Amino acid sequence: MRQRATVRDLAAETGLSVATVSRVLNGRSNVAPQTREVVLKAVGRLGHQAPRARSDHASIHVRCPYLLTDYFGVIVSSIAESVERHGRSVVLNAGEAAQRDGALAEFTRRAGTEGAVLILPPEPEEDLVRLRDRGVPFVVVDPRTPPPRDVLAVSAAHFTGARSLMAHLVELGHRRVGIIGGPREWLVTEARTAGYVAPLADVGVLPAPELMRFVVEPTVQHGYRAAGELLDLPERPTALVGFNDKMAAGALQAARERGLRVPADLSVAGFDDIEISRISQPTLTTVRQPLAEMGRMAVTLLVRLLGHHELDALHVELGTELVVRNSTGPAPAH
């Protein structure tokens, strides 16, 4: 990460006074729209993040436009704890309130807000680029789309985790595996699907379109429906892998309704290692994501960014771990 432009750098670039540039960067209202646009474009041209002063009551904006369930709740809790350790407070925007239009840029107008942590932001890449070019320090956790250049992002190693899970099933003799993916447009869906397919390709099995389903939302209900479709095929799969543990739990329900024993007749596996994976019957084989560490890492990167530290690693992937439980076993003999 290059050194930040100073107010004087921006003043020289635009031909405006230091005072005028400062008023723009501080979000003052007594600036002509044309002047504000000139300064923000200069920030974008320089490719730097504009300096932002820290107030006596500095806060970090945390935006999670989803319900704070066990997945998102773990991430948000770890962020809040880490922010407090750094002597700052958290302004949380979560759930439906964080989904409305304009919510992404709203926090930039709050006095005393130093920066932000954005969790799985639904906005397109252009909105994140615009936020970056306005000089707003932020870090993305679990990006939905490929993060723009010079935007800090933290995620799990989705491809590697999915590959280790499918390799486990291949070692157990499974070749006809149903894959229940998440929303097609999500970056994580692409990475996990590629990871699931790779070990099958290694043993000469090409992914059959009939064995792949993608859902609009990764919930228990959608996992249940998709699993039902796969299990009702004339030649059903011997194993199902879900985009996450919730969808795998839905698959367990679909299997029970069809009289299938897990794992004797069908193996089922998920991803995330949230609480449902440990209380389901049978307990789920899954891939553990370092959710709390993702939150802590995001805060560490943001604090370093606010402190003008040089950052070489802009897109950080944290390791995952295969957790083998009772829902996977040898492929049934035909």
- Closest to 132 measured CA to CA, from 101, 105, 102: 105
- Closest to 126 measured CA to CA, from 99, 108, 148, 103: 148
Q: For residue 40, give both structure tokens.
A: 């923000």
| pLDDT, position 69 | 85
User: Which domains occur in the chain, in start order?
Assistant: 7-46 (1.10.260.40), 59-156+292-318 (3.40.50.2300), 158-289 (3.40.50.2300)
User: How does strand 239-242 pair with strand 286-288?
Assistant: unpaired
Place of tokens 């990871």: 195
Q: For residue 162, give both structure tokens.
A: 């999915």
How many angstroms separate the CA atoms of 315 and 145, rounded? Answer: 13
| pLDDT, position 102 | 67
Q: What is the pLDDT along the chain (334 residues), one digit of tens a residue?
A: 445 566 777 777 778 887 777 777 666 656 777 777 777 777 766 654 444 444 445 789 999 998 888 899 999 999 999 999 888 899 998 887 777 766 676 666 566 788 999 999 988 888 888 888 888 899 999 999 888 878 899 999 999 999 999 999 999 999 999 999 999 999 999 999 999 999 999 999 988 899 999 999 999 999 999 999 999 999 999 999 999 999 999 999 999 999 999 999 999 999 999 999 999 999 999 999 999 999 999 999 999 888 877 777 788 999 999 999 999 999 998 6
**Residue 319, phi then psi, degrees to nearest 5:** -65, 150
What Cα–Cα distance (Å) separates residue 317 from each residue in 70, 187, 293?
21, 13, 11
CB 61 within 8 A of CB 117: yes
CB atoms closer than 10 angstroms to residue 273: 23
Reported pTM: 0.79
Residues 6+ apart with CB under 8 A from 109: 27
How many angstroms separate the CA atoms of 111 and 89, rounded? Answer: 13
Burial classification of residue 279, based on how many CB atoms lie within 10 Å of its CB (0-12 exposed, 13-18 middle, 19 or more buried): exposed
What Cα–Cα distance (Å) separates residue 277 from each residue in 142, 174, 178, 249?
21, 21, 19, 8
CB atoms closer than 10 angstroms to residue 109: 9
How many angstroms separate the CA atoms of 61 and 260, rounded? Answer: 47
User: How does strand 239-242 pair with strand 212-214?
Assistant: unpaired
Q: Interhelix angle for 291-306 vs 70-85, to 10°?
A: 40
Position 287: which residue type?
V
- Helix H, strand E, coil C: the string for the chain is CCCCCCHHHHHHHHCCCHHHHHHHHCCCCCCCHHHHHHHHHHHHHHCCCCCCCCCCCCEEEEEECCCCCHHHHHHHHHHHHHHHHCCCEEEEEEHHHHCCCCHHHHHHHCCCEEEEEEECCCCCHHHHHHHHHCCCCEEEECCCCCCCCCCEEEEECHHHHHHHHHHHHHHCCCCCEEEEECCCCCHHHHHHHHHHHHHHHHCCCCCCHHHEEECCCCCHHHHHHHHHHHHCCCCCCCEEEECCHHHHHHHHHHHHHCCCCCCCCCEEECCECCHHHHHCCCCCEEEECCHHHHHHHHHHHHHHHHCCCCCCCCEEEECCEEECCCCCCCCCCC
